[in-house]
Amino acid sequence: MLSLVVIAKNEDDRLADCLGSVPFAAERLVLDSGSTDTTVNVAERAGARVIATDWPGHVAQKNRALTAATQPWVLSLDADERLSPEAVASLQRALRDPGDAVAFSFPRRNVWLGTALTGGRWYPDRKVRVVRAGRGRWQGDDPHAQLVADGPVRALSGDIIHVPYRDLSEHLSTIDRYSAIHACALHARGVRARRRDVVVRPAWHFVDGFVFKRGFVDGPAGFAVAWLGATHTLCKWWRLRELGA
């Protein structure tokens, strides 16, 4: 009844946990875009069907995965994500009696360098990740696409567990890479940065995340995540301003 689909490249240290987190999935499908580690072997040992592809971007690749799935329902996870046991149980119940829902969403709990975050901008971070085949598509700008359904979406309990960074250096390199991608996407849509965007937006990101969204409850990790989020915002709008110069 359910296909679990994952897009991956060089994720051999995280993929097994992702694929193993949904034991009732009738199909496991991994789209691999040129891994040079043992990702393909890990996927095959977990019982996944592997499709070797090029890399057309996050949105296009995720839509390829939706199209390649063979079951009536499709769950899309990233290699650094997994379903909690509570989420697995709630999804099983929902699939037995979906009603008029064509998609389901879960809160996503981010784990930052060993700390599961409960406050700030990173929780509950609810995501639509399960859709009836043919009733949804990934949309938006790379790399942060959204799965959009063409009918009712039901909110389920239980978390998607997300461990996005192996260490601080990976987080910093991601900020560098993604802020450039975001700036280019905004520029292509005709958005231009003003001087105050470079000053006000990063400051507001930190205050909103750490104070108003209670990132402070996560202690030093909450402070670090709010600060790094503000840094990402600064880099994005600074680069956008340079593109518009």
| Alpha-carbon span 30 to 14, nearest angstrom | 13
Angle at 137 between CA 205 and CA 150, to 5 degrees: 100
> Is 93 in contact with 163 (CB distance < 8 Å)?
no
Instruction: Per-residue pLDDT tens, the chain, 245 aa: give them.
Output: 999 999 999 999 999 999 999 999 999 999 999 999 999 999 999 999 999 999 999 999 999 999 999 999 999 999 999 999 999 999 999 999 999 999 999 999 999 999 999 999 999 999 999 999 999 999 988 778 899 999 999 999 999 999 999 999 999 999 999 999 999 989 999 999 999 999 999 999 999 999 999 999 999 999 999 999 999 999 999 999 999 85
> Is 51 in contact with 120 (CB distance < 8 Å)?
no
Q: Report residue 25: phi and psi, to 5°.
A: -60, 130
> Is 243 in contact with 183 (CB distance < 8 Å)?
yes
Please give the single-letter amino acid code of residue 233: T
| Alpha-carbon span 39 to 53, nearest angstrom | 14
Task: Count CA atoms closer than 13 A to 15's CA, side-chain side.
Answer: 28
| Alpha-carbon span 214 to 220, nearest angstrom | 13
Give the pair of three-digit tokens for residue 83.
Answer: 């379903």
Give the pair of three-digit tokens for residue 188.
Answer: 């292509």
3-class state of residue 79 by DSSP: coil
* Residue 244: predicted pLDDT: 81
Integer CA distances (angstroms), 199 to 120, 175, 212, in order:
21, 18, 19
Q: Report residue 225: phi and psi, to 5°.
A: -65, -40
* Residue 54: predicted pLDDT: 97
* Residue 47: predicted pLDDT: 97
* Residue 30: predicted pLDDT: 98
| Alpha-carbon span 193 to 237, nearest angstrom | 6
* Residue 224: predicted pLDDT: 98
Give the pair of three-digit tokens for residue 72.
Answer: 């009536």
**CA dihedral sign, ordered 172, 177, 180, 186:** negative
pTM of the model: 0.92
Identify whether 143 is preceded by a cis peptide bond (ω within 30 of 0). Answer: yes
Locus of tokens 């580690």: 37
| Alpha-carbon span 163 to 121, nearest angstrom | 15
Q: Where in the chain is the domain with CATH 3.90.550.10?
A: 2-162
Q: Report residue 183: phi and psi, to 5°.
A: -60, -45
Q: Is 201 exposed, middle or buried (CB count within 10 Å of its CB: 0-12, 13-18, 19+)? A: middle
CATH of 2-162, one of 3.30.420.40, 2.60.40.10, 3.90.550.10, 3.60.21.10: 3.90.550.10
